[in-house]
A and B are shown apart, each in its own frame.
Chain A
Amino acid sequence: MSDRRIGVYICHCGGNISDYVDVEKVRRAVQDEPGVVVAKTAMFTCSDATQQEMVQDIEEQQLDGLVVASCSPKLHLFTFREVAKRAGLNPYQYTQVNVREQCSWTHTDDYAGATAKAIRLVRGGIARTRLTEPLQPIKIDTVPRVLVVGAGIAGMRAAVGLADLGLAVLLIEREPVVGGRVAAWGAMYPHGKNGRQLIARLNEEIKQRENITLFTCAELVEKSGSIGNFNIKIRVGGNSGQGQEIITARVGSIIVATGFDNYQPVAGEYGYGIDGVLTLAEYKELLDSTEGKLFRHGREIKDVVYVYCVGSRQQSGENPNRYCSRYCCNAAVHASIEAVDKNPGLHQYHLFRDMRTYGKYELLYNQAREKGAVFLRFDHQEPPVVEKMADGKLMVKVRDLLTYSEQIDIAADVVVLVTGMVPRDNGSLVDVLKLPLGQDKFFNEIHPKLRPVETVVDGVFICGACQGPKNSSESVASALSAVTQSASILKKGFVELEPLIAQVDPEVCRWCGECTSACPYGAIEQVQYQGRAVARVNEAVCKGCGGCAPLCPAGAIDLKGYTDEQMKSMIDAFLKEIV
């Protein structure tokens, strides 16, 4: 028998559950389980009325355990934790049993089977709840300082944003100067601002703020600790090892804004290597550095061909870049307008696969056409071919899908390869931060829409083009979002972490190291205990994934909330009729 006092609530979910599961039968089957003092069904357990009823039951019946059999915990785990809290019950003494996704939704053709399964699952939930202990969230004090890695437009803007929220900032840049890619650009669209001036202004803003410390020629070389309180080491100065200095600091969060690299075509790719074949970045340099007319080798540029999607949206090849770089269509169209403004009468031919001039960039596209640019569409199976002609001009041959795949030959002075963005080579930074990379080798956020700047490493955020191709305004927007996320953690002064984590019994552990190598988060470290080496779980780093526990040959690891004892009791409960 059990001396626990547990309340069980089984949800109809409208008819979502009760149409396929006999909820009344489930209730009858579990009401006499040891420890159960309340067993009820409800039309909607998540409704205000039922929540109120639960609170009342917990208080009046002095319940010390709560089981809700309803939908997936993903949906309402926190809802029912709050119910428990409101009634003065420890939220970790509640168990959610999923009888919707796991029973009614999966077994629509088997009412009796779905019901029997639900009974077992609920019994398992009750068994686990019987062995729950009140747990407290792990509270960690936070350091009100942020490390920003990378002083391009995103990193600089993040630094200013953080400083204005009253947080101290350590801004580090690998290069000797700040500003990144944008610092090299002239006019930009849609705001019409000049990249160089934009960066100069941001730099001024940074200088005016006392709580921003900027280090150039600096790299992050070490990180330990966890969200709210990281210990970091930065190497500053001298590449050769001379004049180098290591600075240590404590920060509460880290924002990574290391930007992108331009795709570099290989020799021969669309004629790259032939004189006159330029990448978009090289062409942009020519445009930005020319006052007046555009010339090449003393000859006025009269015909330009642009080839889109170079290095992006490739389906095959050794290391294909399958993604669309998103900014290059806009950048090429913008460059072509600048070009025709410099050389009126310039003939421009854009060879594209799809035009991705979304949103207000569509206006730019219209403008380019109005100024005489012609757009030809090619099939990626039959890409254009670039050759050098005897007279020194370039010849581009392309099959134009819009003219019914007719082969069209265009003579050009300059061929611009519209190259996209590729991830920066961040090798050592990746090692230091243990950040996961996506398939495309850019840094990976947890969820592109729901948690767009967070990473699986708590307290480490990413923003700007290091997480995927972005234009400058999108980079700044994501930088500000990383600022907000950091501030919401650090301004409170502490973070609360889930206590459902692993725990090593030092009496039993004999330091074999199995768990350390199993842990994907590096949460287990070696410590001394009564003169012996044993394993210890860093509470702030452990995610409670459970990877270590089953591997321990000594059975020294328990996962709080899911202890071996709890798991065994759940299995026994599932198998009640059989055993």
Chain B
Amino acid sequence: MARVNPEFAGAVKESKAFNASACMNCGVCSAVCHMGIELLPRKLFRYVLLGIEEKVLANVETIYSCLLCKMCEVNCPASVHIAENVRFLRHYINKKVYQL
């Protein structure tokens, strides 16, 4: 069970850096990822959009294992800025969790 938290979603939206609303859940990104990161863009970005912060924070490791190689991004039919979004999440976590 996960509860939607509009505050978190709001904080993400405020930044304007995060863009994933165009994602249509096709799964191309997961298919082409050579790191085999199944969670990334698709599922994780939905957690962000829905504002389910605890799920995002539970997957910090995955977020840091992405190579930012953009293999997924160039193949995404909806032009989601996947690498940019991952960078944003790292920035958010650095501040929020590690207080960097």
A403 touches B (CB below 8 Å)? yes
Within the assembled complex, what's the spacing in Å between the Cα atoms of A407 and B50? 12
Residues of B within 8 A of A404 (CB): 43
6 nearest A-B residue pairs (beta carbon): A369-B21, A347-B6, A409-B3, A410-B4, A403-B46, A402-B25
A565 touches B (CB below 8 Å)? no
Instruction: Give the residue of B3, B4, B13, B43 whose beta carbon is less than 8 angstroms from that of A372.
Output: B13
Known: A407-B1, A408-B52, A409-B2. 10 other contacts (CB 8 A): A303-B6, A347-B6, A347-B10, A349-B4, A366-B22, A403-B47, A403-B50, A404-B43, A407-B2, A408-B3
A204 touches B (CB below 8 Å)? no
Some 30 contacts from A to B, beta carbons below 8 A apart, are A303-B6, A345-B10, A347-B6, A347-B10, A349-B4, A366-B22, A369-B21, A369-B22, A370-B21, A372-B21, A374-B9, A374-B21, A374-B49, A374-B50, A376-B50, A400-B46, A400-B50, A403-B43, A403-B50, A406-B2, A407-B1, A408-B2, A408-B4, A408-B52, A409-B2, A409-B3, A410-B3, A410-B4, A411-B3, A411-B4
Please give the distance in Å from A78's CB to the nearest CB on chain B: 49
Q: Write the chain B residue with the least CB distance to A303.
A: B6
**Could you say which of A303, A347, A369, A370 has the most chain B C-beta atoms within 10 Å of its C-beta?**
A347
User: A-B contact count, CB below 8 Å?
Assistant: 45
Residues of B within 8 A of A410 (CB): 3-4
Residue interface mask A362-404, B partner, CB < 8 A = 1: 0000100110101010000000000000000000000010111
Q: Write the chain B residue with the least CB distance to A395.
A: B3
Within the assembled complex, what's the spacing in Å between the Cα atoms of A364 and B23? 16
Residues of B within 8 A of A411 (CB): 3-4
Residues of B within 8 A of A345 (CB): 10
Within 8 A of B (CB), among A404-441: 404, 406-411
Residues of A within 8 A of B25 (CB): 402
Residue interface mask B7-36, A partner, CB < 8 A = 1: 001100100000001100100000000000
How many residues on chain A are close to B (CB under 8 Å)?
21
Please give the distance in Å from A396's CB to the nearest CB on chain B: 9
With known contacts A303-B6, A369-B22, A370-B21, A408–B50 Cβ distance under 8 A:
yes
Residues of B within 8 A of A (CB): 1-4, 6, 9-10, 13, 21-22, 25, 43, 46-47, 49-50, 52
Residues of A within 8 A of B1 (CB): 407-409
Residues of A within 8 A of B10 (CB): 345, 347
Q: Write the chain B residue with the least CB distance to A397.
A: B1
Within the assembled complex, what's the spacing in Å between the Cα atoms of A437 and B25? 40
Residues of B within 8 A of A406 (CB): 2
**Could you say which of A349, A370, A402, A403 has the most chain B C-beta atoms within 10 Å of its C-beta?**
A403
Please give the distance in Å from B14's CB to the nearest CB on chain A: 10
Within the assembled complex, what's the spacing in Å between the Cα atoms of A423 and B49? 38
Within the assembled complex, what's the spacing in Å between the Cα atoms of A349 and B51? 11
Residues of B within 8 A of A370 (CB): 21
Q: Write the chain B residue with the least CB distance to A403.
A: B46
Please give the distance in Å from B9's CB to the nearest CB on chain A: 7
Q: Are A347 and B9 in contact (CB under 8 A)?
A: yes
Please give the distance in Å from A333's CB to the nearest CB on chain B: 13
Q: Write the chain A residue with the least CB distance to B52.
A: A408
Please give the distance in Å from B3's CB to the nearest CB on chain A: 4
Please give the distance in Å from A558's CB to the nearest CB on chain B: 65
Within 8 A of B (CB), among A170-196: none
Q: Write the chain A residue with the least CB distance to B42.
A: A402
Please give the distance in Å from A356's CB to the nearest CB on chain B: 15
Residues of B within 8 A of A374 (CB): 9, 21, 49-50
Residues of A within 8 A of B2 (CB): 406-409
Please give the distance in Å from A140's CB to the nearest CB on chain B: 57
Please give the distance in Å from B72's CB to the nearest CB on chain A: 17
Residues of A within 8 A of B4 (CB): 349, 408-411
Within the assembled complex, what's the spacing in Å between the Cα atoms of A536 and B10? 78
Q: Write the chain A residue with the least CB distance to B50.
A: A374
Residues of A within 8 A of B49 (CB): 374
Within the assembled complex, what's the spacing in Å between the Cα atoms of A400 and B10? 20
Within the assembled complex, what's the spacing in Å between the Cα atoms of A347 and B10? 9
Within 8 A of B (CB), among A280-338: 302-303
Please give the distance in Å from A400's CB to the nearest CB on chain B: 7
Within the assembled complex, what's the spacing in Å between the Cα atoms of A369 and B22? 7
Residues of B within 8 A of A408 (CB): 1-4, 50, 52
Please give the distance in Å from B56's CB to the nearest CB on chain A: 12
Residues of A within 8 A of B3 (CB): 408-411
Residues of A within 8 A of B46 (CB): 400, 402-403
Please give the distance in Å from B57's CB to the nearest CB on chain A: 16
Residues of B within 8 A of A347 (CB): 6, 9-10
Residues of B within 8 A of A303 (CB): 6
Within the assembled complex, what's the spacing in Å between the Cα atoms of A402 and B41? 12
Within the assembled complex, what's the spacing in Å between the Cα atoms of A402 and B24? 9
Q: Write the chain A residue with the least CB distance to B22.
A: A369
